Amino acid sequence: MGTMEAELKNWLKKRPYLGEIAGLHRIITATVEQSAVSATGNADPGEERTVKELEKGIPFLRAAQTDGGAVESAAGLFKEIIDALAAASLTEKIDDYARLMQRAFEKEPALPEQIIAEVLEKNSVEGSKAALEGIDEGFVIFAAWRALARALQPLQERVAELLEKHLWRRGYCPVCGHLPAVGHLLHTEKGQGRERDLVCGCCQMKWRYKRIGCPYCGNSTQKQLKIIGLDDEPDLRIDTCDQCKSYLKTYTGEGNERIALADWSTLHLDLIARKQGFKRAGYQMYGV
């Protein structure tokens, strides 16, 4: 935790405008790491079936029925996150949303599990809207995914093992099916060139993708794939696609992955890309 805090301080020295959202990140990360709620996701349709579905391009959670343990674990952690945010006094909006959610959970004890299941299935809280009056939907979905990312870790580890033998070169997450928020360009183990990983914008799963090509539309025409470089950010860049007008924030360094691949830490890149006419294709977990 100490190392993480040092990395975070170094990141913020250069980017003080991220201080407010970094505070939110600190509290949630501490809550997740200190939680007694275990990650118990255990959906298991059998390895043979899972491999067949992955080969067809069907994400794990679409091929298997997530067991109640994963939803229950995520719901418990979801409540802990909301309690921590309510006690933290971050911003007026976050404080209000968190306290309203605490009251909603007190009135309806089954609500956390209901929200988790709905976000997992539809990335929406439409069915829980009446109980969440006055609370921003994006805030609810954001907090729910932070809990789910932890609860789904056992499934992510299993999928990662399967992908070592059965390649997944698709532009969407092999676990939950959502689009990537960030890319990571890293050196190969043998030191022969570079490879690229993508990071899911929702469950935070990481998977290998082809080195050149737009993950959103599949375009691989190099003339239409351009890079927006940043003079004062040598380890960061924006990969753009002229065909679909989308962009992918990319970290080209190594050793600072926990911060650089967190999405919130590069919100300034979202602003730059949008000013130049590109759109974000993946789910926007953090508003800009």
- Reported as a single tens digit per residue, the pLDDT across 60-102 is 888 766 656 789 999 999 999 999 999 998 999 999 999 999 9
Q: Is residue 287 part of a domain?
A: no
- Res. 284 pLDDT band, cuts 50 70 90: confident
Alpha carbon 254 to chain centroid distance? 19
Residue 159 within any structural domain of the chain: no
Range of the domain at 50: 2-153
Task: Give tens-digit pLDDT for 163-212.
Answer: 888 778 899 999 999 999 999 999 877 667 889 999 999 999 999 999 99
Pairing of strands 225-229, 194-200: unpaired
Under the banding of pLDDT at 50, 70 and 90, the label for residue 40 is low
Q: Is residue 68 part of a domain?
A: yes
Tokens of 252: 């080209």
CA–CA gap between residue 177 and residue 164 (Å, rounded): 18
CATH of the domain at 249: 3.90.1670.10
Q: Do 37 and 120 sit in the same domain of this protein? A: yes
Residues in Cβ contact with 167 at an 8 Å cutoff, skipping those fewer than 6 apart: 208
- My answer on whether 111 and 6 are in the same domain is yes
Whether 205 contacts 156, CB under 8 Å: yes
Q: Could you give the number of structural domains in the chain?
A: 2
- CB within 8 Å of 240: residues ≥ 6 apart: 225, 226, 227, 228, 246, 247, 248, 273, 276, 278
Residue 225: C-alpha distances to residues 90, 214, 220, 237 (Å): 40, 7, 7, 13
**What is the pLDDT at residue 67?**
57
pTM of the model: 0.91
Residue 196 in any domain: the answer is: yes
Residue-wise pLDDT for 105-164, tens only, equals: 999 999 999 999 999 999 999 999 999 999 999 999 999 999 999 999 988 998 999 888
Instruction: Assess whether 132 and 218 both reside in one domain.
Output: no
Question: Which pLDDT belongs to residue 177?
Answer: 94
**Do 198 and 134 share a domain, yes or no?**
no
Domain membership of residue 281 (yes or no) is: no
Confidence of residue 1 (pLDDT cuts 50, 70, 90): very low
Q: Are residues 118 and 232 in the same domain?
A: no
If asked whether residues 191 and 248 sit together in one domain, one would say: yes
**Residue 48: pLDDT over 80:** no
Last residue of a domain, one of 96, 120, 153: 153
Distances, alpha carbon 86 to alpha carbons 83, 153, 169, 261, in Å = 5, 26, 41, 26
The reply to whether 69 and 127 lie within a common domain is yes
